[in-house]
Structure formats: C-alpha cells, structure tokens
Structure 1
C-alpha cells in the first residue's frame, strides 16, 4: 500500500499499539472497502477472506485496519503469530539479516542460520534419539517432503491419513485432507496410494482411545496391509477438522502398531507446534515420540518457513539432491525463526499458553451451563474450540456458528470457524494477548450468542 499523509500517521505494530478494541466505522470502513474493491478486481476470486478489513498494523492482542479500527485478535493469522505480531526480537533479527544478505539458496551456498534452526528443531522436538532436519517454505511442503522421506526409507507407497484431518492444499496434501469444500472440490484427480480411516472423535464416536485405535488398525490391516504402508500421518490435535482431541490411549496405540510394523509415524504439528497447546509440541501432551514431525506456522512468527524433523536414519534415506527447494530455509525466515524460538523458550510463552487455555475454558464452560447449544469445549493451551449443536438433537449447527462468528466480526473480534461440519469456533489468540482483551473477546461472543 502506498502511504499517504493520512496513512503515515498509523501507529507501528508490535508492543507500541494501544491494546484496546475500538470500532470507529462500520466494517468495512471506507478505506478498507476501497482496498477490498481493488482486491476483487486484481486478485483471483478463489483467494477469499473472512474479515472485511485491510490491515495496516498489528501487535500484542490487536489488529488495526486502514480506517483506524482496532480489533481483538483471536486468530493469530491461523496460529502463525504466536509470539505476537511484529515481536521486537523478530523484527530486529529480520532487519539485521536483510541488511546482510537476503538469499543465496542453501543448496548452492549454505549459511549458519539454517544449521542453527535445524539444531534447535532437533533439540526441541520430542524423542531422545539422533535427529536431523530439512527446511522448506510451508506446512503443505513439509508434509509432502515427510511423505517422500517415509516412502524412500521404507520402500513402500501407501499412506494412511484420518477422517477430519487437514494437511494442506497441494495435490498430495489435498489427497491427505479429508474435507472437500473448500479445499478439494473440483481440483482432482489427486495423488494415488492415499487411504483414509476413522480416528478418535470422543464427542461424536463415544469410543475409548483403545477402541478407536483398534477400529483404525483393523481397517489398515484388512484394507491396505502393513507390508504396503509407508507412513501414518495425523495431527495430534486435528486443526481444521475442529480441534479434535483424541481419546487417551489412541495415539499411543497407533504409534506402537507403527513401530511393530516398520511404518513411519508422522505427527503433523504445523498448527499445534511451538507452545500453542501449552507444550512446545502437542506430541508431548500425549507422551508420544513421532518418527517425523512437520512444523510451520508459528515457527517464524509470520515469515514463510517449515521443517521436517525426525530420526536421523529416516531423514537420511533421501539421496543427495532429493530434498530442497530454491527458497527453503531462506536466511531472513531463519533469522525470524531463531528469534521466535528464543521468545518461546525464554519469555514464558509455554506457561502463557496454559494460562490462556484456563481463561478460555473457564469462560466458555460458564456460558455452556446456561446454553446447551455449546455442545463440546475442547483443546489444550491457547488452542481451544467450541462445537455448536442443536440443543435438542446434538446435530451440528453450522448456521448458528456462522451467525455468531459474523456478529463477533462486526463487533471487532477476529474469530475463526472450522470443523468438518462447519460448526466449530476456534480460539488461537497470540500468546502476547492480555487477559483483559481475551475476556472482552469472550464477552462479545457471549452477547452474540444471546442474540442468535
């Protein structure tokens, strides 16, 4: 955006922003509306947006639009700006690296920051075994490469994913993703040798973890065969599918079966990673040690970076030149990642995620006491969701969910929906948000529910 005399007075992002919700125009305001009209003319219509604003600054727990509206951020750019937008450590690291060099391609001329990030991921991810890492650009790219590595290591082709799973928008990751609209519809044919089995959805299936695991493993053995299976991939807490937390024992049993059968177990921690769940990685909550872990989103506080980290012998299966990419592990993104990891480890953000989770679950449970339309409240840390249902039948209520989300947006609260049935509102606030804004956001949600 070209700055005019008016826009040049807009405050910078990061901690300099006043941490208040302030609505000075209807949304969108006139300047946002003008920019969105230009978007409609210039940007492919498949690139949709959920908030009717054009952002000019963000930080702490707020996002400011071109008309001066200050919105409460309960989305973090879909779990990306976990350390907070324009975090001072990240901003300083990015500026310093940009002044040194912006690109060489690590496959041509390596640099230390890529190695630093790899060493940090090898150290931080679960598992007391030797690990190695490769860096990429996006979560989908990390997932694709994890599948490549698993296939190369095992010499097998088949891959199992789970109902309600989401793994990306590329051809292979669309095949892994469960939900058709908007992610897959009309974009096939998809990559072959991808199979889907039911996972664990305690609120809907009523099964114990052991029962759900037995169901999944039986289908794998009977319909695919362990000898054909390269990998099983799952989000420890399913994100786009509705923040589904598996029943205790489910993941343990699946991991154990994979070990017994030489199948690579891949944990997709793109959304759950980096303190989001009140642990550095969600796998820690369930006590599992994946063979491979994919990461992205929160890893670099908004810059494009992703990784595959795992057992050294599996990661080394690919031949020289078999992994990489022009921009993978870009030096500016690596600098941002190192600064973000410093904040995660040293600024109390894991503990802050736990505190946010406590505030969210206590407030939402209090609302549910008087409103049975809140069918289930689930999640860990700063990754909490509420599933909206018909109060009498328990059927998913996507219409109510959409109405509540729309009302919150109109009142200046950035809120995200998800779920296979479109009936889940998810809370992914930046870990830099204050309790006052967090509670105010829930107040707006509660008022929207009363009106719905």
Structure 2
C-alpha cells in the first residue's frame, strides 16, 4: 500500500515537494510510528524537531480537543481570544534577558524570519541583513535569500532580495575559527555594505540544515558586541534549537546574551502550525498597527497546544531530559566512531541536537554523502526514521522527542548499527 500511495503522490504532487521515504503514516504515539501496512518504526526525527513532547502527548491532545469544542478559528487580528494572549505572556516571560518583551504569533518558521526582517528594517530604517554560510531560514523568497545553502533550497528560484550578505560560520571541525568568521564579518563592512546600513545579523546558535554545528559561546558574545557597537539588531533563530531541544529552553542562554529578536517555531505547539517572534518591546512596536499579522496567525487550536506543551516541558523537566537523551545517544555514537574511524569523522551534540558526520578514509575533507543517503534509506527500511543534513550532504542528524524512552534509543541505535554494517 505504501508503494501504491507513493505512485499516486508522484502523479498528484509537484516533484519539488518530495518525501524522504515512501512510508505513509497511519498512527503514532510517543516515539513510535506505524505505517498503513502495520509496520512499526522508532522515530529519531520527531517531525524535524517539531515533536519535542512526542507524538500525541496526552496534554496536547486534551487541550486541542477541548479547544475544538469551543471554536477552531476567528482570526486573531479580527476577534482575538485569551489562549493567544496567555501563550504570548508566557513567551515574553521565558525569553532570555531582562529587557521587557513583546511578541507576535504567526504560522511557520519562515514567516517568523520574514517578520523579523520587517521589524528590524522598520526599527532601524536600514536595509541590510547579514546571515551565515550553511544557514537555513526558510523557503520563502526572503528566507531563501538568507539561507546559506543552495541545493536544493535555492536552485532555479532567483533572483533573491538585495542587501543580503553571507559570512563564514565558525566550525572547528572544518578549520574555520571564531576569529576568521569575525574578521570576515568586519570585511563585509568594508567591502560590501557599511555597518550603518545593516539592520540585522541573523544567526542560528546551532546550525540545523547546515550540519548541526554549534556557534561557540565567544562567537555569539562577539556578535552581540558588534551589533551593540554599530546599532545593528541581533536576530537569533531558535526555530530548531528552541523549546528545550539543547538542554536550555532557548539555546542562546548558554552564551548569556540577549537577542533583540528571536524566532520560535517547530517544538512550540506539539505538531500544530504555530511560530512566534519574541523581541525587545520597543523594537517589536516599530511597525504600525496592521503591519504584522496573518489569517491563520496564532490559531486558537495551535495556541491551546502551545500552552499544553509549556506545561509538559515544565512538569516533566524536559530540558534536563534533553541532556540525558543526548548523553545516551553520544555513548552509542562514540562507540560507533571508535569501531569505524575511517567512516565516522565526527560525532557531536548539544543536548538532544545530535549529529554523526560521515567521511571517507577518516578525512574531514572527503565527505561521504553516498553512504549517508544509503544509511538513511536502509535505516527506514529496517524500521528507524532518520534524517540527514549538511551543506555537503554527509551528516546524519538525530532529533528524538525529548520524552523518548531509553530502551527505544537503544533499539533504534541497534538498528542503525546493523544498517551501517550491512552497507559495508
């Protein structure tokens, strides 16, 4: 039946909206998924970091059912509702830093990034935005322009907006130091756009699609200083790193900095479409009334789910749980690296944002995207949902639910090891 549905899908859907695996889901619970043929899978992807609380968390399910009994939609910018206000109050209180905060709710991560650019330009009166090589910020025209990875996100879609510039992201494994990245940023102010015309710098504290590389603490602190020096806003993209994923509610807490604007999405609502921009109140108030919004922005059902997610994170201590999950994965991956040093070039994590980089001959300069692709396919065939990423296409990323049971991690890693061995 999976095969039949995939054939129908390929006829009905544009090829650009591809799917990684021909696995059509029937039901899911926690960190397990069953397809329409009854086959069970251990889920190490969590809907690409969306289901931090797992599939069908009881609190989320109950909150959504209760809201659906009341109403499903009115449009918040027309006739608002308490659930959205309560959620935004909590977001403002949680955001790192002591400056008073305000927020907006939207529908997707890309929409949140787009609105950050709008807000930054409205506040500063400047056009320029600086992003980083290897970054991913979305698939809209503006966010594609910001994204620092061409294939497949930007192929054939240009031209992109003007006044966007990219800088090398620090990456010790690939020999790019913090100092090199900062010097390249400063060179942009000399060669491409003067600092006085830059509205914002946008950065992921851990790159997602780029390969799960962490921005060093001193790098984020240096960006904060440069932004303060030149009147530039610092946008921290926490779409994939937020909501407990890295062991903190928001990843840039590790650096002890305060963002001017922060995006949040993915894990925010347990699988329901919701995203947010949280920022310093005076900056957030720069656009005029009506300048921000959207028909489905802050869906009442998604807001109900979002409030339930926050309850679950607090009651189940999921930030601490993310650290434990990450440690368990790293025990397995470190052993795998020791067993296959010529293939596993690096393993790394920050909480439950975990990666394994595959190479040839143990050489960082010889990426192995072929093995990465084959391993992802073999794992899914064997009952394990895996994701890949990386500018070079050679990184396996692990994004388990923060609620995943340890025995399911062990089961999934056993499948991974068997799958790798079978390909050699």
Using the TM superposition, give the Cα deviation of residue 211 of structure 1 relative to its aligned residue in structure 2, in angstroms: 4.3
Which residue does 1:9 correspond to in 2? none
Does residue 1:87 correspond to 2:57, yes or no? yes
Aligned to 1:101: 71
In the alignment, the residues of structure 2 paired with residue 162 and residue 128 of structure 1 have an alpha-carbon distance, to the nearest angstrom, of 27
Whole-Å separation in 2 of the counterparts to 1:215 and 1:318: 32
- Given candidates 421, 427, 439, the residue that maps to 2:398 is 427
**2:172 matched residue in structure 1:** 202
1:149 maps to 2:147: no
Q: What's 1:304 paired with?
A: 273
User: Where does residue 23 of structure 1 map in the other structure?
Assistant: none
Cα distance between partner residues in 2 of 1:278 and 1:374: 25
Q: Which residue of 1 aligns with 2:19?
A: 49
Q: Give the 3-state SS of the residue equivalent to 2:38 in structure 1.
A: coil
Cα gap change, 1:107/1:206 in structure 2, threshold over 3 Å: closer, same or farther?
closer
- Which residue of structure 1 lines up, in the alignment, with residue 285 of structure 2? 316
Q: Does 2:322 align with 1:353? A: yes
1:63 corresponds, among 16, 20, 33, to 33
**1:292 maps to which residue?**
261
The one of 204, 213, 221 aligned to 1:244: 213
Deviation at residue 451 of structure 1 after TM alignment? 2.8
Residue 189 (structure 1) shift: 1.3
Q: Distance in 1 between matches of 2:198 and 2:323?
A: 37
Q: CA 1:248 to 1:107, structure 2 compared with 1: closer, same or farther past 3 Å? A: closer
Is the CA contact 2:129–2:200 (under 8 Å) kept in the aligned structure 1?
A: yes
- Partner in structure 2 of residue 403 of structure 1: 374
* Distance in 1 separating the partners of 2:242 and 2:278: 12
Q: Which residue is equivalent to 1:266?
A: 235
1:89 aligned counterpart, secondary structure: helix
Distance 1:334 1:86 in 2: 16
Q: Which of the residues 304, 307, 312 maps onto 1:335?
A: 304
Q: What are the Cα deviations for residues 115-166 of structure 1, in whole angstroms up to 9, with x where unaligned?
A: 1111111011111110000000000000000000000000000000000000
Distance 2:223 2:114 in 1: 21
Show CA shifts across 1:84-141 (max 9, x none). Answer: 1111111111111111111111111111111111111101111111000000000000
1:368 corresponds, among 316, 332, 337, to 337
Q: Identify the residue that residue 313 of structure 2 maps to in structure 1.
A: 344
In 2: Cα distance, 1:286 partner to 1:440 partner: 34
Report SS of the residue matched to 1:369.
Answer: helix
Secondary structure class of the residue paired with 1:340 = helix
How many angstroms apart in 2 are the aligned matches of 1:380 and 1:393? 23
Residue 329 of structure 1 and its aligned partner are, at CA, apart by 0.4
Q: Answer whether contact 1:210 1:253 (CA < 8 A) is retained.
A: no
Q: Is the 8 A contact 2:248 2:254 kept in 1?
A: yes
8 Å CA contact 1:202–1:247 kept in 2: the answer is: no
Per-residue deviation at 1:374? 1.1
Partner Cα distance (2:182, 2:14) in 1: 42
Match of 1:11 in 2: none
Write the deviation string for residues 315-352 of structure 1: whole angstroms up to 9, x where unpaired: 00011110001110011110010001111122121111
Structure 2: unaligned runs, 5 residues or longer: none
Give the TM-score taking structure 1 as reference length. Answer: 0.91
Residue 171 (structure 1) aligned with residue 138 (structure 2): no
Secondary structure of the 1:38 match is helix
CA distance in 2, matches of 1:392, 1:343: 42
| TM-score normalised over the length of structure 2 | 0.97
The root-mean-square deviation of aligned C-alpha atoms, in Å, is 1.2
The Cα of 1:52 is off from its aligned counterpart by 1.7
Alignment of 1:216-255 (within 5 A): 216-255=185-224
- Judge conservation of contact 2:382–2:419 (CA < 8 Å) in 1: no
Deviations 1:291-312 (A, max 9, x none): 1100100000111000000100
Question: Which structure 1 residue ranges, 5 or more long, are not aligned?
Answer: 1-30
Please say if residues 129 and 201 of structure 2, whose CA atoms lie closer than 8 Å, have aligned partners that are also in contact: yes
Match of 2:86 in 1: 116
Aligned to 1:283: 252
Return the alpha-carbon distance in structure 2 between the equivalents of residues 363 and 232 of structure 1. 37
Please report how far the alpha carbon of residue 79 of structure 1 lies from its aligned counterpart in structure 2 after TM superposition.
0.3
